[in-house]
Structure 1
Amino acid sequence: MQYDFDVIVVGGGAGGGAFAYACARAGKSVLLLERGDRRFAGAGAQDEKATLMDKGPFDDREVDVNGTPRRLYMGGILGGGTSVYGGALLRPSDQDFQPGRYYGRRIPRAIWDWPISYGDLEPYYDEAERLYGVAGCADDDFGPLGKPAGGFGGEPLPLHPLNERIVAANRRRGLRPFRLPLAIDGSRCLRCGVCAGYVCPTGARGSSVALLESAVARGHSLQVRTQVEAERLVKEPGTGSTLLAVIDRTTGRRLHYRARRYALAAGAIGSPLLLERSGAVHPLIGRNYMLHIAAIVAGVFPQATDAGSSFVKQLGFTDYYFGTKRHRHKMGIVQSLPVPGPLMTAKVAPFLPAPVRQFLRERVLPMAGMIEDLPDPANRVTLGPDGGLRLTHRYSRYDRMRRRRMAPAVARILKRAGAVYCISRGYSAHDHVAHQCGTLRFGADPAHAVLDPDCRMHSDPSVFVVDGSFMPTSLGVGPGLTIMANALRVAAKVTAEL
């Protein structure tokens, strides 16, 4: 049988980029298809209106979210989320892989334990950190989180003066602040006040785009085609082999490609919808969509902080990862956030006069407590009657309770450093979908998982999934590094059998 490629990858984000790179490096012929453009071709990379208001680098599809049409803040160019993320790449705790220890009957018995352990992913965490250029301080106390035994490959950016105050004040109270591991090259970083949500103007932030470009530059057999949408996987009459039907979005031309293996990496929304369009049948396809619930607290300081014009997303805390002294419920990480720009501030606080918003922007520092939301089969992505994308998601009472418990702890972190007032908001706007996962979970039992432990579809041995869809639970940290590491793990399995 003639194959066009050894491997075809659908999606060039964290999982797809890492997977394609690893397969090409191993000598396999690889085609990566990206629905979006190669890069954001709009106004300047740091233009708030073009980037965040008009959503230039984000997915251009309209999604029905709980009955309301929205355009999501979901990476829509080559690199996916890695082209617009803030660069924080954290290892989870080894205990995140045994969620049944903390949630018991709140989650199905079938997912009390992941089918792989932290130890299975550890060498691939090492590799992902190296490939994406993660810099950090290995001497910091990460609490229950994993960190590289051999240290990080680069030094973190110098702490902003306000962050130095936060570290000192909270260490005196017994907390363990640490510098976030960031995929940022300090020699090229401009220390912008904007970072997360924007395309990096210098390429200092590690992305899948840089990884793919390095594979091509080294002469590996990798082709990257943008503005190509994967429509469905189809069975070829007579042979029974799997083909991928695609459409070129610039010309409207339809094509079929044949590969030995396919890797879906279109995201926790895109990958299950591709399988649904392909006629795949499993009761869990598209279900258990997860999205961290955040307790966002903005500390207001008496003097201007310069945080709005400098890079401040630098700190993390794991002191409440497994709960507070009064509320022993597993929660997640606390980390600092950038100060939102004037247009985004106006969007979330239109009731305030512009001078008041500017006054606050000059004096605030936001932090977020991210809570590990639990899987719920009612939270799902599916195709609407007209073939459009439909997302149904609501946080549980338990998720919302933990957010309420986390918010005061985050406020105390800021007040110890001098914040005179804290503005707390339980932020859960569904157009911000960073950290989405869970819609095609993996597991050993086909009755309770769409994918096997190697992320191969139980129903089609030629199809793998390497984005965040594979995750049974959402972890207490952002899933980016785990998606990258798992993609490298799966690539090793795939290349070994080709």
Structure 2
Amino acid sequence: MVDICIIGSGAGGSPIAYELANAGFSVVVLEKGENYTENDFNKDEIGVTRRDMFTPPLNEQKHIINEYKEDGTFERYDGEESSWNFWNGSLVGGSSNLMSGYFHRLKPNDFKLKSVYGKIKGANVVDWPISYEELEPYYDKVEKVVGVSGKIVQHKHLEPRSSADFFYPQLQTNGVTKWFDGACKELGYVPIPTPRAILSQNALGRNGCYYSNFCGSYGCASGAKGSGRAALLQKCDAKIITDAFVYKLESTNKKVTRAYYYTKYGIRHSVQAKIFVLAAQAIESSRLLLNSKNRYFPNGLANSSGEVGKNLIFSAGGSGSGRFVFEKLTLQQQKELMEVGVFFNRSLQDWYEYSEEDKKYKGGTVDFLFEHQNIISRVMREVYDEEGNLLWGAALKEKLHKRLMTSRVLTFEVFNDWLPTDKCFVSVDETVKDKYGVPVGVINLYGHPHDLAVGEYLAKKSVKVLQKLGCEEIDYSISAAPPPNLVAGGCRFGNDAKKSVLDKNCKAHDLENLYVADASFMPTGGSVPYTWTIYANSFRIADVIKKQLPKCHFLYNTQAGKPCL
């Protein structure tokens, strides 16, 4: 029996493995995917954009998706048939290997959404059982241990910090950021250097960024990106078992006793531990608990409240873009525009909170960035002429050359709250099973109309920046389509065991030794990407478990007639 068994090795699991293993406890991490090192990562665009290099093939593992319609019905999609994919990174370190690393903290009011902004009809908005002040030391720890590069700029929504500035200086930026800063100043906006979980210099035993700009969806060959693998798991002695798909947790009425897993060849194994930590990603964590029902928990493990899988959330918002007109720029501006590699890295939080008609609203964050370096995706957008006709030969070649060599697109991404509702949740399908014979997860989707209204407000403000910069072909889209890489909820934490799955320390109300450390715990998501908060909360849970484990050691070893460790 080991001290702690962690299911999943991403941003939720890796801090606990790092902290507990380095504190001398025996730690086993069960990871469904494979282990990669920096030497295994490259810029294989075919593998990343056209293949499932880091995710399970949909003909072996998939989800069923039910999309809510305005008439009150759901339209059902089979993940394999529709190619609708909610996997976002099955490998050691999880999807933190593939993130772009945009790291913003939640704000104090994100922890008390209901108290500050009030009820919203049709939404299950609640306050968190912890405050920003309780999580702040762990945000600070992530900055230093995982490595976050940035520069603090004072603005009206800046959250309180225990460190005056980031420990690692901001990453190098493209010259166009000067134009952006000037345009924002004229508009009365405050541009913020976007914090990134990417080292700007050699530190922490890792190399600094070498500015390939292939970040999102790609593993980092330099080790600069702060993935759970590079920053934490490679720096501890936790035992990592790969190709281990955990399909069931066994329990008594008080404790989880064993985790069962299949290898990729279908061979069954199990692990016994004193404490179990579930960090398999929000959808999969709910699925595992629902599939682990037994005589003590007939509706799913840790589900006496009936809340497992409920209140699933994503990140609401959308995106927009505008194209710089090369011919209208000076030679110096043309040179700055076409400088490759270095980042754009600018954000706006001027409307993280805003008022309309004397009512206060929770707004969000807008990140500005150049379009991805992927040649394939950039080219595929240019194969039609202005009338929508497919281009061939010399005409296609001429357009591609102009677009790629004398043109650049500035994009923005809007992040605002996806409100939790009764209509967005995880369940399991007893008739559809994966290659292991395990019922697949069902993702029931619904976006609250309020989310769209806030996203629209933020997008229109952002478009003004593109207009001020002189961009053309400006466009944006705000929709209720969920981003699969930004998912949370399903095991919300709270003080009332009848209305939540976890207590304030992310331990299951129903079980003495089960914690959930991925984004499942979040009752609301805030208006930023989730990863920094997942990391911070996981470090917080690690401190709780450290205090709990010596007690477990004492009870286990004295009962077994062994000396206390």
Tell me whether the two structures share a fold, i.e. TM-score over 0.5.
yes
Kindly provide the CA deviation profile for residues 74-97 of structure 1, in whole angstroms up to 9, marking residues without a partner as x.
Answer: 112111121000112211111111
CA distance in structure 2 between the aligned counterparts of 1:231 and 1:110, rounded to whole angstroms: 30
**Aligned with 1:411 (options 463, 467, 476):** 463
How far is the alpha carbon of 1:143 from its aligned partner? Answer: 2.6
Question: Could you tell me whether the CA contact under 8 Å between 1:307 and 1:339 is conserved in 2?
Answer: no
Of stretches 149-158 and 11-20 in structure 1, the one that deviates more from structure 2 is 149-158
Q: Aligned partners of 1:97 and 1:252: how far apart in 2?
A: 43
Aligned residue runs from structure 1 range 301-450, under 5 A: 301-303=324-326, 306=337, 309-323=340-354, 328-340=360-372, 341-345=374-378, 353=391, 359=402, 362-384=407-429, 385-386=431-432, 387-426=439-478, 429-430=481-482, 432-450=483-501
Separation in 2, partners of 1:307, 1:438: 41
Determine helix, strand or coil for the equivalent of 2:306.
Answer: coil
1:65 aligns with 2:97: no
Moved more, 356-365 or 458-467: 356-365
**Matched ranges for 1:16-95 at <5 A:** 16-39=13-36, 45-60=42-57, 61-66=61-66, 67-68=76-77, 69=79, 70-72=84-86, 74-95=88-109
Question: When the two structures are aligned, how many residues end up with a matched partner?
Answer: 488
Spell out, residue by residue over 1:286-343, the C-alpha distance to the aligned partner (whole angstroms, 9 max, x if none): 1111111223110111116746943435111100111366785312101023413343
Work out which of the residue numbers 548, 556, 562 in structure 2 matches 1:497: 548
Q: Which amino acid aligns with 1:204?
A: A
User: Does the 8 Å contact 2:209/2:224 carry over to 1?
Assistant: yes
CA gap 1:209/1:240 in 2 versus in 1, 3 angstroms: closer
Matches within 5 A, 1:440-479: 440-479=491-530
Partner Cα distance (1:472, 1:358) in 2: 48
- Compared with structure 1, are the counterparts of its residues 153 and 375 closer, same or farther at alpha carbon in structure 2 (3 Å cutoff)? same
CA displacement, residues 67-117 of structure 1 (integer Å, 9 cap, x when unaligned): 221223511211112100011221111111110145422179985321000
Distance 1:141 1:105, change over 3 A: closer
Query: Per the alignment, do residues 168 and 325 of structure 1 end up closer, same or farther by CA in structure 2, a change over 3 Å counting?
Result: farther
- For residues 53 and 38 of structure 2, the distance between their equivalents in structure 1, rounded to whole angstroms, comes to 8
Cα drift, residue 351 of structure 1: 5.4
Distance in 1 (CA, whole Å) between partners of 2:5 and 2:383 is 46
Letter matched to residue 348 of structure 2: F
Out of 245, 250, 254, which is 2:260 matched to?
245
Change beyond 3 A, Cα 1:292–1:90: same
Structure 2: 5+ residue stretches without partners: 67-75, 202-207, 294-300, 327-333, 386-390, 433-438, 550-565
Indicate the residue corresponding to 2:323 in structure 1: 300
RMSD, aligned α-carbons: 2.7
Whole-Å separation in 1 of the counterparts to 2:442 and 2:370:
30
Whether the 8 Å contact between 1:332 and 1:370 is mirrored in structure 2 is yes
With over 3 angstroms needed to count, the CA separation of the structure-2 counterparts of 1:296 and 1:358, relative to structure 1, is farther
Distance 1:379 1:241 in 2: 28
Instruction: Sort the Cα spacing of 1:315 and 1:358 in 2 relative to 1 into closer, same or farther, 3 A.
Output: farther
Shift in Å, 1:411 = 0.6
Worse-superposed segment, 70-79 or 102-111: 102-111
Partner Cα distance (2:125, 2:442) in 1: 26
Bigger mean CA offset, 438-447 vs 75-84: 75-84
Letter in 1 for 2:142: A
Conserved in 2, the CA contact under 8 Å of 1:415 and 1:421? no
Quote the offset at 1:347 in angstroms.
6.0
2: CA distance, partners of 1:74 / 1:57? 8
Aligned residue identity for 1:32: V
Alignment partners' CA distance in 1, 2:50 and 2:369: 19
Give the superposition deviation at 1:28.
1.2
**Structure 2 contact 488–525 (Cα < 8 Å) conserved:** yes
- 2: CA distance, partners of 1:348 / 1:324: 38
Superposition pairs of residues 107-118 of structure 1, within 5 angstroms: 112-118=126-132
Partner of 1:197: 217
Q: Indicate how the Cα distance of structure 1 residues 324 and 410 shifts in structure 2: closer, same or farther if over 3 A, else same.
A: farther
1:232 paired residue number = 248
Partner of 1:9: 6
Q: Decide which moves more: 78-87 or 55-64.
A: 55-64
d(CA) in 1 for partners of 2:121, 2:143: 31
TM-superposed deviation, 1:394: 2.1
Whether contact under 8 Å (1:163, 1:312) holds in the other structure is: no
Q: Residue 257 of structure 1 aligns to a residue in which SS?
A: strand
Classify the secondary structure of the residue corresponding to 1:437. Answer: strand
Q: Which amino acid aligns with 1:300?
A: R
Are the equivalent residues in 2 in contact too, given 1:185–1:205 (CA < 8 A)? Answer: yes
Work out whether 1:131 is the aligned partner of 2:145.
yes
